C-alpha cells in the first residue's frame, strides 16, 4: 500500500466464529462487484479455553480453519473471474506436530471439533493449522487450472503479536522469546515478498516458510 498512495482502503466486519457472518461478508463483498486478486486467510485464535461457537463447533477449529474454508468457498467464483488470483493461507510449522487421522489412517472428525474432555488448546491449534495446509494444497490442485493459486505459509516462530493474549503463561513465553525472534515488521515485509514470489508462480501449492529463514516445505 505504501507505494500505492492512491489506493482506496475499506474495512469490512467479519467474524470467522460465526458462519452467518462469513456469509454476510461474502454477500457484501460480492455486491461491490470488484475483482479479488489476493485473499489472505490470516486470522487465528490460539490457546483458547474450550468453547463452542454459536454454530456448535469448537472455536479454534471454526475460526482458524472452517471460517476461512467457508469464506473461500463463497468467494471462489469471484476469485476465478478475477484470475490471475491467489489465496495465501497463513498456517504454522506447528501443523507438523499433530494428526487428524485415526489409528486406521482415516480422517477422525471428532479430532477436528473435540468435546471438552478431549480438548487440549495447543493440539487444537496445531490441528487447525494442519487443516490450513491441507486446505491450501487441495484448493491449489482444484483451482490452479483456472488461474487461482494457493499457498500455505509459515510466518516465523513465536513472533510477538497478540496471539498469546488468551493466557498469561504464553504472554510470558512470547515476551521472553521476543529478542530472539522476527519482529512483526519483518513478518509483514516477508509476507509482501511472498505475494511477489507468487506473482512469479514459483512456489504454488506448497507450504512456504517466509524468509529470514527461507525454506520451501512440503507437507
Ligand atoms: N505470531 C506467531 O508467532 C505465529 C507463528 C506461526 C503462525 N502464526 C499465524 O500467523 C497468523 C497471524 O497471527 P498473529 O501472530 O498476527 O496473531 P494476532 O495478532 O492474534 O492476529 C490474529 C488476528 O486474527 C483475528 N481474529 C481472531 N478471531 C477472529 C474471528 N473470530 N473473526 C475474525 N478475525 C479474528 C484477530 O482479530 P482481533 O484482534 O480483532 O480479535 C487478529 O487480527 C495466524 O494465522 C497465526 O496462526 C503466527
Question: From CA 51, how far away is CA 114, in angstroms rounded?
Answer: 10
Q: Is residue 13 part of a domain?
A: no
Decide if 72 is inside a domain: yes
Bigger pLDDT: 186 vs 77:
77
Whether the CB-CB separation of 69 and 138 falls below 8 Å is answered with no
* Residues sharing a CB contact under 8 Å with residue 186, sequence separation 6 or more, in sequence order: 156, 212
pLDDT number for residue 184: 72
Domain for residue 110, yes or no?
A: yes
Phi, psi of 70 (to 5 degrees): -65, -40
Q: What is the pLDDT of residue 127?
A: 96
Q: Is there a domain that residue 97 lies in?
A: yes
Residue 164 lies in a domain: yes
| Domain annotation covers residue 214 | no
pLDDT value at residue 218: 37
Instruction: Tell me the pLDDT band of 215, cut-offs 50, 70 and 90.
Output: very low
Looking at residue 195, its pLDDT comes to 52
pLDDT tens-digit readout, 22-35: 999 999 999 999 99
For ligand 1, mutation pick of 90, 132, 155, 208 (most atoms within 8 Å of CB): 155
Nearest alpha carbon, ligand 1 atom 5? 157
Range of the domain at 129: 19-209
Q: Tell the residue nearest (CA) to atom 36 of ligand 1.
A: 43
**Considering only CA atoms, which residue is closest to atom 16 of ligand 1?**
161
pTM: 0.88
Q: Is 125 marked active-site?
A: yes
Look up the CATH number of the domain holding residue 130: 3.40.50.720
CA proximity to 163, closest of 52, 41, 46, 80? 46
The total domain count for the chain is: 1
Q: Which residue has the cell 480422517?
A: 107
* Pocket, ligand 1, Cβ cutoff 6 A: 14-17, 42-45, 63, 90, 92, 154-159, 161-163
**Ligand 1 atom at shortest distance from the alpha carbon of 93:** 6
Rounded CA gap, 97 and 176, in Å?
23
Share of the chain above pLDDT 90, in %: 69
Over residues 88-137, the pLDDT tens digits come to 999 999 999 888 998 899 999 999 999 999 999 999 999 999 999 999 99
- How far, in Å, CA of 112 to CA of 128, rounded? 7
User: Checking DSSP bridges between strand 207-209 and strand 215-217, what pairing results, if any?
Assistant: antiparallel
Cα(143) to centroid of ligand 1, in Å?
26
The answer to whether residue 124 is domain-embedded is yes
The answer to whether position 122 is within a domain reads yes
Q: Indicate the pLDDT class of residue 217, thresholds 50, 70 and 90.
A: very low
Amino acid at each position: 500500500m505504501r507505494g500505492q498512495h492512491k489506493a482506496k482502503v475499506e474495512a469490512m466486519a467479519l467474524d470467522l466464529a460465526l458462519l452467518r457472518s462469513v456469509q454476510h461478508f461474502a454477500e457484501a463483498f460480492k455486491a461491490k462487484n470488484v475483482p479479488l486478486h489476493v485473499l489472505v486467510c490470516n486470522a487465528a485464535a490460539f490457546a483458547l479455553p474450550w468453547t463452542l461457537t454459536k454454530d456448535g463447533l469448537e472455536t479454534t477449529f471454526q475460526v482458524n480453519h472452517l471460517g476461512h474454508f467457508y469464506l473461500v468457498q463463497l468467494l471462489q467464483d469471484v476469485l476465478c473471474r478475477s484470475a490471475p488470483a491467489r489465496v495465501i493461507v497463513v498456517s504454522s510449522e506447528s501443523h507438523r506436530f499433530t494428526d487428524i487421522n485415526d489409528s486406521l489412517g482415516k480422517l477422525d472428525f471428532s479430532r477436528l471439533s473435540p468435546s471438552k474432555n478431549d480438548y487440549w488448546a495447543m493440539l487444537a491449534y496445531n490441528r487447525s493449522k494442519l487443516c490450513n495446509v491441507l486446505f491450501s494444497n487441495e484448493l491449489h490442485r482444484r483451482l490452479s487450472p483456472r488461474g487461482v493459486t494457493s499457498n500455505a505459509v509459515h510466518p516465523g516462530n513465536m513472533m510477538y503479536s497478540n496471539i498469546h493474549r488468551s493466557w498469561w503463561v504464553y504472554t510470558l513465553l512470547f515476551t521472553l522469546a521476543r529478542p530472539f525472534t522476527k519482529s512483526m515488521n519483518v513478518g509483514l515485509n516477508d509476507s509482501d515478498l511472498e505475494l511477489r514470489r507468487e506473482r512469479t508462480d514459483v512456489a504454488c501449492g506448497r507450504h512456504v516458510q517466509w524468509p529470514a529463514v527461507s525454506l520451501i516445505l512440503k507437507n
